[in-house]
Amino acid sequence: MSLGAKLALVFLAFLAILVVVIVVAFRERRRSRDLADDDVGGQQAQDARVLAIIFGAMLGGMLLTLLVAWLVFL
């Protein structure tokens, strides 16, 4: 497989991570409209889910960066 094809696969993986983050963020935003203003526990759980997805995506991006460096320089 050529370097261009490998990097294209990495780019598609990056897009997949980006799509997951956007979909989850919009889903949680839609859910937040259904929560009562005094439901602090529900709001905290919602915030935790969004943060977990965002930080998970950051770790995924870091791994993709390492993969690109390995593909290009080795």
Domain with 40, as residue range(s), is 3-73
Tell me the pLDDT of the chain averaged across its residues.
Answer: 87
pTM over 0.85: no
DSSP string, the chain: --HHHHHHHHHHHHHHHHHHHHHHHHHHHHHHTTS-TT-HHHHHHHHHHHHHHHHHHHHHHHHHHHHHHHHHH-
Q: What domain count does the chain have?
A: 1
- The pLDDT assigned to 46 comes to 86
